[in-house]
Each structure stands twice: as C-alpha cells, then as structure tokens.
Amino acid sequence: MKKIIGKVRKACDDYNMIQDNDKIAVGFSGGKDSIALIYALKLFQRFSPNKFELEAITVDPGFDNMNLDAAKEFLKEIDVPYTIIKTEISKIVFDERKESNPCSLCSKMRRGALNEEAKKRGINKLALGHHLDDGISTLFLSMFYEGRINTFKPVTYLDRIDITTIRPLIYITEDIIIESVKNNNLPVLKSPCPVDGKTKREFANDIVDDIATKVPHFRKRMLKAMQNKEQIQLWFKPE
Ligand SMILES: Nc1ncnc2c1ncn2[C@@H]1O[C@H](COP(=O)(O)OP(=O)(O)OP(=O)(O)O)[C@@H](O)[C@H]1O
C-alpha cells in the first residue's frame, strides 16, 4: 500500500486534487480499484497536509448476485461511513430497454445516481478509481471509436452540480492495484455485471497489455505523452 499512497500523494499534489476541509466521497463499486482507493485515501488522511473527510457511496444497480456484506464490514472496520443507493438500473438497461450497448447507459445512470446522492450529502469531491491503464485504454478507445484524441481528466469540475471529480489513482498501474489488494486482503466483490469481461474496454485493455509486453516502459511513456503539452504534432489543417 505504501507504493500506492506515495503515488496518490503525488497525483494529489500535481493536480491540486484535495484542499482543506474537503468532503470527499469515493464512488465504490465493490471492485478492486475503488476499494484500493478508499483504503489508500483512508491511510493518506492521517498525514495529508490538507484535512479532509472521507466516505463511500455505492450505487447498487440491482443485480441479484451483488452481496456487499464484506464491503460493509470492511468499511466499518476502517471507520469510513458508507451509503448504498438501491436502484433499478439493471432492470431498465437489460430487461426493459434491452440495450445493445448497455455500458454507456448503465454508466450514465450510475454516474447520475452517484452525483445526486453526493450532492444530497454535502459532498464537494467525488473520487473515482480510474488508474493509469484506464487512462491509456480510454485514450485508445476515443481514437478507435470516436476519431478524437481524448481521455478523462485527473480533475473535472461539474458546474451543473458544483462537485469536482478527482481520480487519485492516475499514476498507478493495474498490476500494482491487484498486488496491493491481495497483500492487504481487501474484500473485492466479483463484478455482478452480465457483460463484465466482454466489453470494448476489455478489448482496449488487452491491446495495452499486449503492447506493454513488447515496448519497454510503455505505460510510463504513455503517461508522459498524456502530460506533454508542448510536443504535439498532428495533422491540423491550416485555419
Ligand atoms: N456502482 C458503483 N457505485 C459507485 N461508484 C462506482 C460504481 N461503479 C463504478 N464506480 C466508480 O467509477 C469508477 C470507474 O468505474 P468502472 O465501471 O470503470 O470500474 P472499474 O474500473 O472496474 O473499477 P472498480 O475496480 O472500482 O470496479 C470506479 O472505480 C468507481 O470509483
């Protein structure tokens, strides 16, 4: 966890993610990334120069096989207040709308429910568990499927609801998260989603993994490229 906390601290410093008196809620799916994020932020809270409150919120999409008992127990143990919002997202997305691309609507509805609950609870920062591999695969997906060079930002201000989204795991690769979750015995919920493992995201993740076996320091270089404001050379047409 030390490695993760150090990089969380660096990301928070580099992008001014946390200020004094912030009320931060972690969007907690039950998965490895968000549980690692909660644990890292809880440990970071002890020595962070900026004092902040921390809680966790889960949007329960309504899958039959989603059991959050172990997560509840863990969050109680580490003293992080926890809210679960029951929704009918899975029924709407899979049974009623029978979406051919369920991820997009599901994620929109989840984000909406999460933002709404955060607002209700007086939260001003919403922390999400996206890590470096997610940043790279999002960049690839946007090029492959949208024809633009784009990935999520480390910090995004949502002016409609006056909440800032932060992503403190952006400097951490997935393998470090997997190792840390295992070493610390964090209770990870297996994804209850029926399309888990079969999405475009997994396709992009596989490409990232494949390139990383062939290109030395691939993820580090991609991070550098994503942070590099100066050396961009593309095919812009003259104005
Ligand atoms: N049901 C949910 N309730 C609350 N927050 C969520 C939920 N699902 C996802 N999130 C938040 O959005 C982030 C990105 O979601 P995504 O579905 O891509 O999950 P992921 O990359 O598999 O991460 P995790 O391992 O935390 O599930 C998660 O890390 C988490 O912070």
What residues contact 28, with CB distance under 8 A and at least 6 apart?
Answer: 34, 35, 38, 56, 57, 58, 71, 82
Euclidean distance between CA atoms 31 and 190, whole angstroms = 7
Euclidean distance between CA atoms 124 and 21, whole angstroms = 10
* Interface predicted TM-score (ipTM): 0.94
DSSP single-letter state for residue 50: S
Given this model, what pLDDT does residue 63 score? Answer: 85
Average pLDDT over residues 152-178: 97
**What tens digit of pLDDT does each residue of 9-67 get?**
999 999 999 999 999 999 999 999 999 999 999 999 999 999 999 999 999 998 887 88
CA 224–ligand 1 middle distance (angstroms)? 25
Average pLDDT over residues 77-88: 96
Give yes or no for residue 141 having a pLDDT over 80.
yes
**Better-scored residue on pLDDT, 191 or 218:** 218
**Better-scored residue on pLDDT, 25 or 104:** 25
Q: Report residue 1's pLDDT band, with 50, 70 and 90 as the boundaries.
A: confident
Given this model, what pLDDT does residue 179 score? Answer: 96
CA 165–ligand 1 middle distance (angstroms)? 13
Given this model, what pLDDT does residue 170 score? Answer: 98
**What tens digit of pLDDT does each residue of 199-227 get?**
888 999 999 999 999 999 999 999 999 99
Residue percentage of the chain with pLDDT more than 70 = 100
Which residue's C-alpha comes closest to atom 5 of ligand 1?
Answer: 27
Euclidean distance between CA atoms 224 and 170, whole angstroms = 12
Q: Indicate the burial class of 20 (C-beta count within 10 angstroms; 0-12, 13-18, 19 or more).
A: exposed
Give yes or no for residue 178 having a pLDDT over 90.
yes
Q: Are strands 163-166 and 155-158 parallel, antiparallel or unpaired?
A: antiparallel
Domains defined for the chain, CATH in brackets: 2-227 (3.40.50.620)
Given this model, what pLDDT does residue 16 score? Answer: 97
CA 174–ligand 1 middle distance (angstroms)? 14
User: Considering Cα of 203, then 195, then 151, then 218, what sign does the dihedral take?
Assistant: negative
**Better-scored residue on pLDDT, 121 or 90:** 121
Which residue in the block uniquely carries the two structure tokens 């007086």? 122
Give yes or no for residue 82 having a pLDDT over 90.
yes
Which of 29, 90, 125, 141 to mutate for ligand 1's pocket (most ligand atoms within 8 Å of CB)?
Answer: 29
Euclidean distance between CA atoms 1 and 176, whole angstroms = 9
Residue percentage of the chain with pLDDT more than 90 = 82
Q: Which amino acid is at 4?
A: I
CA 87–ligand 1 middle distance (angstroms)? 15
Q: What is the DSSP string of 143-188?
A: HHHHSS-----SEEEETTTTEEEE-TTTT--HHHHHHHHHHTT--P
Q: Which residues of 183-211 are buried (b: 16+ CB within 10 A; e: fewer)?
A: eeebebbebbbeeeeeeebeebbeebeee
Given this model, what pLDDT does residue 118 score? Answer: 97
Average pLDDT over residues 98-113: 87
DSSP single-letter state for residue 78: T
Q: Supply the mean pLDDT for the chain.
A: 94
Per the DSSP assignment, residues forming a β-bridge with 126 are 25, 165
Given this model, what pLDDT does residue 7 score? Answer: 97
